[in-house]
Amino acid sequence: MTIPNLLTLARILLTPLLVWLLLDYRMGQALVVFFIAGITDGLDGLIARLFQQKTRLGAYLDPLADKLLLVSSFILLGYLQKVPTWLAVVAVSRDAIITLGILTLMFHQVSVEIRPSLLGKMTTLIQILTVFLTLARPYLELPGWCYGFLYWTTAVLCLVTGFQYIRMGNRLWEKQRADTIEAGS
């Protein structure tokens, strides 16, 4: 097992701890756990690139770990009324649609290579920043408009990349269909 994959597994294992801390209203400790999880997200990719440790397992685990961490965070922060409910719905819906799309394509034996787009990576970064700054709010109070701007930016990026990934999935589906029709001719 490579170091990047171990860091990704650590992020997956930190998620239940984060959920427990949030449900127990231990926001300071949740902030620390989320910060560590966010650091592992940056480090795993950096180490994988620098030391040529990219693996097929890592290509699947990393986005799964991100989705698990961020979906859990947005659901709970929405539930605890720390972020607007509409933002939690947008962020969670995007990741649910992407995951269901990939599973549908795989179920229909459409070849799917998990590679996030640059905009998708930016969206994940903004989502992490949104959760981090929301959890840090008692310790780092920014002007109210900053949070509004951050929440709307997160929502817009989630929507744009959600549609981007739907389009990419549809192209893969259509290509598979065309290849199947051509092979049958």
- CATH number, position 38: 1.20.120.1760
CA distance 107 to 151: 34
CA distance 120 to 126: 10
Segments of the chain with pLDDT less than 50: none
Residue 39 has, within 13 A of its CA and on its CB side, a CA count of 7
Count of domains forming the chain = 1
Tokens 């990939």, residue?
A: 102
CA distance 162 to 159: 5
Structural domain of 142: 3-184
- ∠ CA 121-123-126, rounded to 5°: 110
For the whole model, what pTM was predicted? Answer: 0.92
What is the per-residue pLDDT for 185? 65
